[in-house]
Amino acid sequence: MPALDLPESLFTLNDSTSLSFLDYGFGQTTLLVHGSLCDYRYWRWQMAALGEYGKILAPSLRGYWPNASLTSAPDKRFSVGQHAADLIELIQATHPDQPVNVIGHSRGAHVALEIALQAPDAVRALVLADPGMNLAGVGHNREFLLKAAEAISLGNDEDGLATFIDAVSGADTWRRMTGWFKSMVRDNARTLLSQAHEADADHDPQPFSAIKCPVLLLGGQQSPPRYSQIMDMLEKHIGQARRDTIAMASHGMNLANPKSFNRKVLEFLNN
């Protein structure tokens, strides 16, 4: 559950798909984009803290809880590009004349980058926390993603989720996770069957040089090296990008050290 007892709102996309989201606060809007196996509940420690300084919009992406598929059939509309297009539609419908800040975590940071590329006028600033994507010269996530998806397809959800979470956050992370986080991840387990189709995608970082809004690259001090390598690559192509680190935290930095995460985000957005 989110830290605040907030009512869930629905937005209907042009193709009749419903997006569930939470919103809190007033003023300049910040859109929160979750990563793999998560949903709007992932931002439980950001809603109130960031909402004191502006309006916070936290959607669950297409295909994720509370609208996650319970079948084993991959969703062909499940992709970074589609998720970005969905959120652009949401932004343009709710904020037609005002750009928003976008904070993305892991795969959600890749979605955030795509939003900035597809609709640059809709984005005021970007915060990319341990961005997850396949870039040339950086180790891919193909092997562990496919292994996790295979286990889930066979009904071995716990093995599949442990494989994925431990790969992105460090060994033994899944076993040590709190109950609410495990419940959220289990609710989204079957999204990996659709996400597995992205495993072989290799992205050219050159187009990211077109992004002109302020960008903050945030890394967890204890995150696996792959994320630092991705940020190194992004920093080369996004000339105005700043870099910072969340101490005493791995990949889920906004949960492990929310005070530091929230403070650094607010300092950047209010600069």
pTM: 0.96
Which residue type, as a one-letter code, is found at position 216? L
Is 1 inside a domain boundary? no
Is 4 inside a domain boundary? no
Range of the domain at 188: 9-269
Q: How many domains does the chain have?
A: 1
What average pLDDT does this structure show over 228-232? 95
What average pLDDT does this structure show over 119-130? 98
Is 2 inside a domain boundary? no
Is 172 inside a domain boundary? yes
Burial 24-55 (b: 16+ CB within 10 A, else e): bbeebbbbbbbbbbbbbbbbbbbbbbbbebbb
- The answer, yes or no, to whether residue 56 has pLDDT greater than 90, is yes
CATH code of the domain containing 122: 3.40.50.1820
- With both helix axes pointing from N to C terminus, report the angle between 142-153 and 157-169 in degrees, rounded to the nearest 10: 160
Is 3 inside a domain boundary? no
What average pLDDT does this structure show over 249-257? 97
Query: Per residue in 182-192, pLDDT tens?
Result: 999 999 999 99
Is 260 inside a domain boundary? yes
Is 157 inside a domain boundary? yes
- Residue for token digits 């209907």? 12
- The answer, yes or no, to whether residue 90 has pLDDT greater than 80, is yes
